[in-house]
C-alpha cells in the first residue's frame, strides 16, 4: 500500500498499477537511456546521490546484492537516478560505478535534467513526499526501491535500507516473473 503522503495530489485517484512516464536520461557511460531500454524487462528503481553518507551507501550495497543475485537473469534490470544531477555528472557516475562494482549491462546510474528526475520521483515512481520548491535546496532523499513490471507498472515498494525488505523484494520478483507480466 502506498502512503498517500508519497503520492502527488494530481494522481492520488489513480488506482492499481500506476505506470511510469517516458524519460530520457544519461547513464554512467554517457549513453541516452529511455524507457525503451526497459521494454519487456522487470526493473528495480531507486534515487540516490554519490556523495550521500547516510542511507545511500546501504541502498547501494543492497542494489549490489540484488545485482549479484540476478547476474544471470536477462529479464531483470536496475535503475538508479541521482537526485543531485548537477554534482553527479556522467564522469562522477562512472567513477562511482567503477568503485562499487556496477555491471553496466544490468544497472544504469542516470543523471539529467533535475526537473525531469524529480517529476519522475514524485509523479511516476511515487517515491517522494514533497512538492519541492524547484530551488537549490529542493532535494529528494528516499529509501524506496520501486519494483516495475514489464508493462512499466509499479508492483511494489520496499525499504532499500532494510535487509528483510530486500528479501521480500526478491520473493515478489520471483512471483512477478512467474506471472509472465
Q: Is 141 annotated as a binding residue?
A: yes
CATH number at residue 71: 3.40.30.10
Question: What is the pLDDT, as a whole number, of residue 3?
Answer: 39
- On whether the CB atoms of residues 80 and 97 are closer than 8 A, the answer is no
Q: Which pLDDT score, from 0 to 100, does residue 139 have?
A: 66
pLDDT at 5: 42
Domain encompassing residue 145: 4-179
3-state secondary structure 58-110: HHHHHHHHHHHHCCCCCCEEEEEEECCCCCCCHHHHHHHHHHHCCCCCCEEEE
Enumerate residue ranges in the chain where pLDDT < 70.
Answer: 1-17, 128-139, 181
Half-sphere exposure of 134 (CA within 13 A, CB side): 3
pTM, to two decimals: 0.86
Number of domains in the chain: 1
**Which pLDDT does position 1 carry in this prediction?**
39
52 is in an annotated binding site: yes
To the question of whether residue 62 is assigned a binding role by annotation, the answer is no
For residue 53, report the phi and psi dihedrals to the nearest 5 degrees.
Answer: -110, 0
Amino acid at each position: 500500500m502506498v502512503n498517500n503522503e508519497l503520492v502527488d495530489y494530481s494522481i492520488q485517484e489513480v488506482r492499481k498499477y500506476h505506470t511510469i512516464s517516458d524519460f530520457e536520461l544519461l547513464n554512467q557511460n554517457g549513453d541516452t537511456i529511455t524507457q525503451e531500454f526497459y521494454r519487456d524487462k522487470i526493473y528495480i528503481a531507486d534515487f540516490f546521490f554519490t556523495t550521500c553518507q547516510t542511507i545511500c551507501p546501504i541502498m547501494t550495497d543492497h542494489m549490489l546484492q540484488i545485482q549479484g543475485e540476478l547476474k544471470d537473469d536477462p529479464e531483470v534490470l536496475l535503475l538508479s537516478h541521482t537526485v543531485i544531477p548537477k554534482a553527479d555528472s556522467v564522469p562522477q557516475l562512472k567513477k562511482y560505478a567503477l568503485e562499487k562494482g556496477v555491471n553496466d549491462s544490468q544497472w544504469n546510474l542516470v543523471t539529467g535534467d533535475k526537473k525531469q528526475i524529480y517529476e519522475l520521483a514524485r509523479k511516476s515512481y511515487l517515491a517522494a513526499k514533497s512538492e519541492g520548491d524547484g530551488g537549490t535546496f529542493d532535494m529528494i532523499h528516499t529509501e524506496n526501491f520501486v519494483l516495475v513490471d514489464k508493462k512499466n507498472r509499479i508492483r511494489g515498494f520496499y525499504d532499500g535500507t532494510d535487509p528483510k525488505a530486500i528479501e521480500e523484494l526478491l520473493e515478489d520478483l520471483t512471483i512477478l516473473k512467474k506471472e509472465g507480466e
